[in-house]
Amino acid sequence: MVKKKKRFFCLFVFPGFIGIMIFVLVPFGDVVRRSFATAVTGQWNGFKNYLTIFQNQAFILAVKNTLRFTLVCIPLLVLTGFMTALLLNGMKSKKWIKSIFLFPLAMPTATIVLVWKMVFYRQGFLNLFLTRLGELSGLWGVIYKDYLDSQAAFWVLVGSYIWKNTGYTVILWLAGLGGIPSELLEAARVDGAGKWQRLWYIVLPNLKGSLYTIVVLSFLNSFKIYREAYLTAGAYPDKSIYLLQHLFNNWFVNLELDKMAAAAVCTGGVLMIVILLLQKLWDKQEV
Amino acid sequence: MRVDGKKVKEILQLIGKKFQKGVTVFSLFLPALLVMGPVLLLVSGSLMDQWEIGKYIGTVFTEGSEFIRWKLMPDYPSLANYKKLLFESPQFFILFWNSMKLAACILLGQLLVAVPSAWGFAVYPVKGSSLLFALYVILMLLPFQVTMLSSYLVLNQLSLLNTHQAIILPAVFSTFPVFLSYGGFRGIPHQMLEAARMDGAGELIIFVRLGIPLGKSGLLSAMVLGFLEYWNMMEQPMAFLTEKSLWPLSLYLPEITWGSAGYAFCASVITLIPAVFVFVLGQDYLEQGIIYSGLKA
């Protein structure tokens, strides 16, 4: 039986695995080798490539910005999603509302960029709105700020990330909330626990697993913000949104493959460690 | 006058409830506006003629003091831009079919590769398979930029650069659909498969006749999420396709300049249509897919 099992496992999994070997694992091995070699001659170069990238201003800036972006976005998204899910959880007909929140996920980035430009450019809708608000309240005058070409671009990206991914997070939170046994909540209610007490002592502790997956998936999705960033601001945007993704792309265009190799190994390694650490943390909670 | 404490409390409670309801409605109305706003802008813009659109967003070019203006109902609604785009610009068609071809080939390939893999992991757990699955999960979580160079190296080696295969082949072997399909398969009770075996069904028959129908929510959600992802694909074609006639719509759209904004609106609406179509038809699977993506391996 075990032998048979093995045979069928191989039969079903191997075609895909061979593809992964060819397209991902073997070439990534080559990338690791290249990260220790010179770009042109391919000679052993020790850790020189790594030293180069860590002294590279662009790399440091990109790492900083990417970190800042994730550290701002993920908590914000997790919270927005959670509050929305809590609001929705009590409702009976959620389908329509869920559709509304999910829709941005389906909207191709290329189509939304046109709208973002109309909203955020110097004479766009946002400034129009703020100026009218200023006129009404008499507190400030006309505002001409180009949000896409200044440090505000960072916040435009944050907003657009939240806009796009709230639905995804809400669905995951709702699944988590639905997984809490209702007897548990009922028992607490009978024992006299109020709404907030139930939330704090029963709901939240039961959602730790959801929190883990939501953080990991939000992290994965945060890298796709490059599309919005690139389409609204191009390959060399404002300094505040120059992300690792821009850097990789620009190195690729300039064929600086040695730096790219070292950076790919570093980024991949750090991501792997973060994922494994989060997973370990979660496993510990479960026991 | 004696204030009836009980009554005051009741009234306060009533106000509290009304307030809560108001907050709920408002907090849902705002996102609805944020979501539908862009769509309305695109649709209304696509129905304006070049002259009207120029009047509203002409301020882009002037750097003057005038703000953007807009009308959700165009003064002179016209389908002229659609006509031009659909019937008089063959290159738009080519790009549209590029997008379709890429998405369709990738999804078909994933069905053939990822779904059997997921079945293997779900039904024949052998020593070391969970370790391999963990590797798949990590691969699924790595962003494109990390594997960009390795993809480039192998595509270059196989001299596939600047062909559609350069986009299709690596995507076919993506591990995300394996993970989602696995989510659908693992709900199937093993006793059922055991019973089929007792009746003498072969393993392939079991996969096709039992596995696929029972686990279809997983693979359908992989298809829905996959379509939305590949319809929106940018990073891969940007890196591996230099020939512009091979580009998908998602890359071409932003190239349209403000000067021909009318086109841009129409092209955006047309790009949006397949995505909306899949979204509306597949919303249940989309939700299911998101839930599967959050399950622990």
- Contact predicate B102/B164, CB 8 Å: yes
Contacts of B94 (CB under 8 A, 6+ apart): B245
CA distance A149 to A120: 10
| Residue of chain A with shortest Cα separation from B134 | A276
B64 pLDDT above the threshold of 70: no
Domain limits of chain A?
Answer: 59-286
Which residues in chain B touch residue A219, judged by CB atoms under 8 angstroms apart?
Answer: 141
CA distance B57 to B66: 10
Give per-residue pLDDT as tens, A147-203: 877 888 899 999 999 999 998 999 999 988 888 888 888 888 888 888 888 888 888
Q: What is the pLDDT of residue A21?
A: 93
A287 pLDDT above the threshold of 50: no
Our CA angle for A137, A142, A146, nearest 5°, is 125
- Give the rounded distance of the alpha carbon of A174 from its chain centre: 19
Q: pLDDT higher for B54 or A214?
A: A214
| Residue of chain B with shortest Cα separation from A169 | B290
For a pLDDT cut of 70, what percent of chain B falls above it?
Answer: 95
Give per-residue pLDDT as tens, B127-150: 888 889 989 988 988 999 999 999
B3 pLDDT above the threshold of 70: no
Q: What is the pLDDT of residue B66?
A: 73
Best of B113, B204, B232 to substitute, by most chain A Cβ atoms within 10 angstroms, is: B232
Nearest to B149 among A98, A113, A260 (CB): A260
Q: Could B232 and A101 be called an inter-chain contact, meaning their C-beta atoms sit closer than 8 Å?
A: no
Q: pLDDT higher for A22 or A255?
A: A22
Give per-residue pLDDT as tens, B206-219: 898 889 999 888 88
Nearest to B153 among A27, A275, A282 (CB): A27
Q: Could A8 and B287 be called an inter-chain contact, meaning their C-beta atoms sit closer than 8 Å?
A: no
Q: Which residues in A166-177 are b (16+ Cβ under 10 Å) and which e?
A: bbbbbbbbbbbb
What does DSSP assign to residue A23? I
- DSSP per-residue string spanning A67-112: HHHHHHHHHHHHHHHHHHHHHHHT-S--HHHHHHHHHHHHS-HHHH
Structure tokens at B97: 């079919």
Cα torsion angle, B128, B134, B140, B143, sign? negative
Q: What is the pLDDT of residue A28?
A: 93
For chain A, the 3-state helix, strand and coil shares in percent, each to the nearest 5, are 80, 0, 20
Question: Which class is domain A59-286?
Answer: mainly alpha
Q: Could A17 and B113 be called an inter-chain contact, meaning their C-beta atoms sit closer than 8 Å?
A: no
Our CA angle for A276, A277, A281, nearest 5°, is 115
- DSSP per-residue string spanning B81-140: HHHHHHHH-HHHHHHHHHHHHHHHHHHHHHHHHHHHHHHHHHH---TTHHHHHHHHHHHH
Contacts of A25 (CB under 8 A, 6+ apart): none
CA distance B72 to B70: 7
- Give the rounded distance of the alpha carbon of B266 from its chain centre: 20
| Residue of chain B with shortest Cα separation from A27 | B150
Any idea which residue has 């009922």 for tokens?
A186
| Residue of chain A with shortest Cα separation from B207 | A12
CA distance A82 to A69: 20
Structure tokens at B24: 């709920």
Q: Could A103 and B35 be called an inter-chain contact, meaning their C-beta atoms sit closer than 8 Å?
A: yes
CA distance A101 to B29: 11
Nearest to A100 among B31, B113, B124 (CB): B31
Nearest to B264 among A114, A122, A217 (CB): A114
Any idea which residue has 């719509």 for tokens?
B249
CA distance B219 to B289: 9
Strand partners, A44: A37
- Contact predicate A79/A166, CB 8 Å: no
In which band, very low, low, confident or very high, does the pLDDT at B49 lie, cut at 50, 70 and 90?
confident
CA distance A279 to B218: 23
Q: Could A172 and B126 be called an inter-chain contact, meaning their C-beta atoms sit closer than 8 Å?
A: no
| Residue of chain B with shortest Cα separation from A256 | B149
Any idea which residue has 């973002």 for tokens?
A116
What does DSSP assign to residue A148? G
In which band, very low, low, confident or very high, does the pLDDT at A246 lie, cut at 50, 70 and 90?
very high
Phi-psi domain of B248 (left: phi exceeds 0; alpha: psi -120 through 50; beta: other): beta
Q: Could A264 and B291 be called an inter-chain contact, meaning their C-beta atoms sit closer than 8 Å?
A: no
For a pLDDT cut of 70, what percent of chain A falls above it?
Answer: 99
B297 pLDDT above the threshold of 70: no
Minimum distance, in Å, between the CA of residue A41 and any CA atom of chain B: 16
B121 pLDDT above the threshold of 90: yes
Which residues in chain B touch residue A15, judged by CB atoms under 8 angstroms apart?
Answer: 113, 116-117
Q: How many CA atoms lie within 13 A of B222 on its CB side?
A: 30
In which band, very low, low, confident or very high, does the pLDDT at B106 lie, cut at 50, 70 and 90?
very high
- Contact predicate A164/A178, CB 8 Å: no
CA distance A270 to A263: 10
Q: Could B238 and A11 be called an inter-chain contact, meaning their C-beta atoms sit closer than 8 Å?
A: no
- Give the rounded distance of the alpha carbon of B86 from its chain centre: 24
Q: Could A227 and B42 be called an inter-chain contact, meaning their C-beta atoms sit closer than 8 Å?
A: no
Minimum distance, in Å, between the CA of residue A187 and any CA atom of chain B: 24
Q: Could A13 and B65 be called an inter-chain contact, meaning their C-beta atoms sit closer than 8 Å?
A: no
Q: Could A118 and B41 be called an inter-chain contact, meaning their C-beta atoms sit closer than 8 Å?
A: yes
Which residues in chain A touch residue B175, judged by CB atoms under 8 angstroms apart?
Answer: 20
Best of A18, A22, A24 to substitute, by most chain B Cβ atoms within 10 angstroms, is: A24
Which residues in chain A touch residue B196, judged by CB atoms under 8 angstroms apart?
Answer: none
Structure tokens at B287: 């939700």
Q: What is the mean pLDDT of residues A5-14?
A: 89
| Residue of chain A with shortest Cα separation from B69 | A125
- Give the rounded distance of the alpha carbon of B34 from its chain centre: 19
Domains along chain B with CATH numbers: 88-293 (1.10.3720.10)
Q: What is the pLDDT of residue B75?
A: 80
- Give the rounded distance of the alpha carbon of B261 from its chain centre: 25
What are the CB-based long-range contacts (under 8 Å, 24+) for A143-146? A144/B65, A146/A120, A146/A121, A146/A122
Q: Using DSSP, state whether B57 is helix, strand or coil.
A: helix
In which band, very low, low, confident or very high, does the pLDDT at A68 lie, cut at 50, 70 and 90?
very high
Nearest to A261 by CA among A112, A80, A21, A48: A48
Q: Could B113 and A16 be called an inter-chain contact, meaning their C-beta atoms sit closer than 8 Å?
A: yes
Which residues in chain B touch residue A10, judged by CB atoms under 8 angstroms apart?
Answer: 120
| Residue of chain A with shortest Cα separation from B269 | A111
- Contact predicate A151/A69, CB 8 Å: no
What does DSSP assign to residue B241? -
Structure tokens at A20: 């992964």
Q: Could A249 and B238 be called an inter-chain contact, meaning their C-beta atoms sit closer than 8 Å?
A: yes
CA of A35: how far to CAs of A26, A28, A50, B217, in Å? 14, 10, 8, 42
- Contact predicate A257/A40, CB 8 Å: no
Q: Could B235 and A257 be called an inter-chain contact, meaning their C-beta atoms sit closer than 8 Å?
A: no
A280 pLDDT above the threshold of 60: yes
- Contact predicate B216/B151, CB 8 Å: no
| Residue of chain B with shortest Cα separation from A232 | B254
